[in-house]
Amino acid sequence: MKKIFTLLVSSLCMMSMAAETTVAVAPNGSTCTLTVGDATLNNVPVTTQGGVNIAAVKRGDVTVLVRYTDANTLVADGMLNNVPFHYATASAITFAGGFQIPNGNFEAWTASSGEPDHWHGFKSGKGSFASTATSFLVNVQLGSSTDVRPNSTGSKSVLITSGGLGSTVANGTVTNGQLNAGSMTADDVSNHSEMDRSSTATDNNGDKFYTALQAAPDGIATWLKFSQKTANSSYPYATMSAVVFDGSYYQDPEDKTYTNVAAKAQHKAVTTGGWRQVVIPFDYDSYSSNNAEAAAILVTVSTNATPGKGSKGDQVWIDDMELVYNAGVTSITATGLDGFAFDAATHDYTITYDGEPLTLTADNFAVVADGRAAMTVKAVEDLGDGNYSIVLGAVGADLLNASLYTITVTREVAIPTVWVMGNVNGNNWAANVGAEMAYNEADQTYTLDVTATGTAYFSFTKRLGEGAEDWDAIAPYRFGANTPGEGNNFVMRRTYLGQEIELAQDGWYNAFELPAGNYRLTIKHLDGDRCLIIDGEWPDAQLLVQGSFNDWSSQEGLLTMNRADDGTYTTAYNVPALTDGYSYFKLIKREAGEQDVTIGAVSNGDFLVTSEQLNTPLSLTADNGQAYKIPAGQFTLTANLEQMQLTIGGTLKVRGDVNGDGSVDVIDVNLLINAILNSDNSPIFDLDGNQAVDIVDVNGLINIILSN
């Protein structure tokens, strides 16, 4: 096959339909780059059929179909959706032969016989009566005429005229094969047209009496004009016959049943009248059992459908005969693409859908062309994310006509609604209750401001149930915290604020645990690597006093320190007189989402607070700190966690100083004895802290004095 280029271009916006458009093809394996006018189209899919490359694509408002065998730059005639375009240098294209009957427009008359090139009458005939046929067929003529069909671009037609001898009528006949005069009897089948590729006979131009075909035509079209010299109602018709066969010997009319016939197109009732175009479809079905190849075509036109009938002087004019190669589409079906319904009159379709991206290939489409030898076009261009530009259609076997249909498949993802489920914003857990998040189209995020009173738990859903217990119904639409094991809540911590927290895929229902406060929830990448961002003011940590006064219980009887505006914590601390006259304490830092942290003194043992340590910052240490040991009395504790310091304010009482004069002496002993005698159990006299004032306290006081 020789170099073949044809172009079909439709443009609404990108380029105008000028009289001349240049097309450049740059092949690149299974794709090519097309330069069409000023537009450059990259990565155009290419399919190959019968040695011809077909590149079809729709980009925006430009639809292009190019057929080529190699790369080149040229201009061409083309047609898109039955709209023809003509380019000034169309003659630069060389088409492969075998698609049309040579000299079908009857413009070439160079043969010395006076017959049109590639067409023949009795002058170039053969047969046993060939030598006498010319004298016998008086006035039978085959010649050129200037009477052409309406709107013809040519200046000539072919005219055949009947003649005869005496009362015998000899029909005028023209064929692209060779006529055989085998009998003086008009209806003898030895008088026929014939064709045989094995024959070496040539006409006066040196051309064989043979017309080869490259493809099976769907019909034959020609312009005819017929007149009868003398009207004959019994034989009123001229006739035209075209037979497609495998190229081995064939004659018309037949002398036997020929099994090498692929199809016939016959019009045996050409009526008298002026110029009109006749289009005759080929009948392949009646000869399908022959399984014959469409390799050659024999055409015969005669002034009468019955040999030897009509009248002398009957005339048939023939102009612009061509073979028809259909390029229409009878059906297109699509699997996996809902919403597409083919209509032959509609050439552009737009299909929109939502949901998961479709996967479409040429295998999803079936194109049925009405051309027997037409090539189908199935170009599916994947634009990504479930979007496609698809060109489907048919190309005629002669590569001159095409019917294209474009489908634009657009994935329009519906924005899902997302609700926050849980005890936030005054809601309670229920399958049909949620706080709707707001969608921000600019950054494709979902946000919601929430208020948690007390510890709150929440997760997310893309669908709410009809009832409060519809948990199974919404199960596929729920998602939450990504924690190991179902039922493990994600405990929010201060350090997670403002960070991207991975969200579990649908089917995990772990909730987020959030302390009381006001927060903004933001979901990013809902349909991808989804994550949650929690912004807000984290609640302040609590600072509690724990010690021997509450039997070291970390849950009950703790003193709560008050947080001041400067970030320090304070509390009044009234130390009772315990067993040895001292109290022991540490601090507990309690923060939402964190383990309690015990804070104590920097010491290798319990830190004894003396007068020198009062009202001055003491260092604190977190975890494993020692307790503070302090005598009974009234104090103020002030803690600074940023600097990890504790200040104990107050006046330290001397143990055994009953009267408070700053010394322990016999006066204190006398006061203690009087308290015993008067049954005064005031804590100030209870030196050993056993809740009783007795002789043990007196002995202890005396020991203090003696030890000074």
Question: pLDDT for 551-584, tens place per residue?
Answer: 888 888 899 999 999 999 999 998 765 556 678 9
Q: Average pLDDT over the chain, rounded to whole?
A: 85
Whole-number Å distance between alpha carbons of 2 and 515: 81
Q: Please, which pLDDT band fits residue 97 given cuts at 50, 70 and 90?
A: low
CA contacts within 13 A on the Cβ side of 385 = 8
Using a 10 angstrom Cβ sphere, with 0-12 exposed, 13-18 middle and 19 or more buried, the burial of residue 80 is: buried
Identify each DSSP E strand in 37-172 by its residue range: 39-49, 52-59, 62-68, 73-74, 78-80, 83-85, 141-145, 157-161, 163-165, 168-170
| pLDDT at residue 704 tops 50 | yes
Residue 268: CB atoms within 10 Å: 13
Q: Give the residue among 117, 87, 101 at the shortest CA–CA distance from 17.
A: 87
**CB–CB of 556/550 below 8 Å?**
yes
Residue 636 contacts by C-beta under 8 Å, 6 or more apart in sequence? 570, 571, 572, 573, 648, 649, 650
What is the value of pTM for the model shown? 0.60
How does strand 559-560 pair with strand 562-563?
unpaired
Domain 329-411 in CATH 2.20.28? The answer is no
Whole-number Å distance between alpha carbons of 554 and 544: 9
Q: Which of 110-119, 587-596, 609-618, 672-681 has the lowest mean pLDDT?
A: 672-681
Mean pLDDT of 378-397: 90
Whole-number Å distance between alpha carbons of 307 and 237: 11
| pLDDT at residue 13 tops 60 | no
The 3 state secondary structure assigned to 563-596 is ECCCCCEEEEEEECCCCCCEEEEEEEEECCCCCC
Q: Give the residue among 543, 546, 536 at the shortest CA–CA distance from 567.
A: 543
**CB–CB of 627/586 below 8 Å?**
yes
Amino acid at 704: I
C-alpha distances out from residue 287 to 293, 350, 517, Å: 11, 42, 88
Q: H helices of 382-527, where?
A: 471-474
User: Distance from CA of residue 91 to its chain's centroid?
Assistant: 41
In this prediction, residue 689 carries a pLDDT of 66
Helix, strand, coil: what percent of the chain each, to 5?
10, 40, 50
The torsion angles phi and psi of 629, rounded to 5 degrees, stand at -110, 120
In this prediction, residue 136 carries a pLDDT of 56
Structure tokens at 590: 């309690």
Q: Which residues pair with 330 in a beta bridge?
A: none
Omega of the bond leading into 683 within 30 degrees of 0 (cis)? no
Tens digit of pLDDT for each residue in 23-54? Answer: 677 888 888 887 766 778 888 888 777 667 77
In this prediction, residue 92 carries a pLDDT of 33
Tens digit of pLDDT for each residue in 628-673? Answer: 988 777 899 999 999 999 999 988 777 777 776 667 888 888 888 8
Tens digit of pLDDT for each residue in 153-207? Answer: 999 999 999 987 777 888 999 999 999 988 888 889 999 999 999 999 999 999 9
CATH fold of 542-650: Immunoglobulin-like (2.60.40)
Tens digit of pLDDT for each residue in 511-551? Answer: 999 999 999 999 999 888 999 999 999 999 999 999 988 88
C-alpha distances out from residue 16 to 19, 37, 214, 561, Å: 9, 9, 35, 82
In this prediction, residue 133 carries a pLDDT of 56
For the chain, report the end-to-end CA distance as a whole number of angstroms: 126
Q: Where are the domains of the chain?
A: 6-92, 122-324, 329-411, 419-536, 542-650, 666-707
Helix (H, G, I), strand (E, B) or coil at 656: coil
Structure tokens at 690: 């056993």
DSSP string of 290-339, one letter each residue: G-----EEEEEEES-SSTT-S-TT-EEEEEEEEEE----EEEEEESS-TT
The edge-to-edge listing of strands for the beta sheet with 238-245 is 173-175, 296-302, 238-245, 261-270
CATH top-level class of 122-324? mainly beta
Q: Give the residue among 175, 295, 284, 298 at the shortest CA–CA distance from 242.
A: 298
The matching CATH number, chosen from 1.10.8.50, 3.40.30.10, 2.60.40.3620, 1.10.645.10, for 419-536 is: 2.60.40.3620
More confident residue, 275 or 54: 275
In this prediction, residue 137 carries a pLDDT of 55
Query: What is the percentage of the chain residues whose pLDDT exceeds 90?
Result: 57
Q: Give the residue among 333, 328, 322 at the shortest CA–CA distance from 371.
A: 328
Q: Please, which pLDDT band fits residue 75 given cuts at 50, 70 and 90?
A: very low
Whole-number Å distance between alpha carbons of 220 and 362: 33
Ramachandran quadrant class, 60 (left: phi over 0; alpha: psi -120 to 50; beta: rest): left
Compute the Cα dihedral for 475, 387, 404, 214 and give only its sign: negative
| pLDDT at residue 7 tops 50 | no
Whole-number Å distance between alpha carbons of 80 and 403: 6
| pLDDT at residue 96 tops 60 | no
User: Distance from CA of residue 92 to its chain's centroid?
Assistant: 40
Q: Please, which pLDDT band fits residue 139 given cuts at 50, 70 and 90?
A: low
Q: Which residues pair with 40 in a beta bridge?
A: 35
How does strand 192-195 pair with strand 296-302?
unpaired
Q: Give the residue among 436, 457, 456 at the shortest CA–CA distance from 447.
A: 436
In this prediction, residue 577 carries a pLDDT of 57
Q: Which of 64-68, 150-154, 279-283, 393-397 has the lowest mean pLDDT?
A: 64-68
Query: What is the percentage of the chain residues whose pLDDT exceeds 70?
Result: 87
**CB–CB of 354/411 below 8 Å?**
yes
Q: H helices of 15-172, where?
A: 130-136
The torsion angles phi and psi of 498, rounded to 5 degrees, stand at 75, 0
More confident residue, 146 or 634: 146
Whole-number Å distance between alpha carbons of 673 and 679: 10
| pLDDT at residue 230 tops 90 | yes
**CB–CB of 483/506 below 8 Å?**
no
In this prediction, residue 27 carries a pLDDT of 82
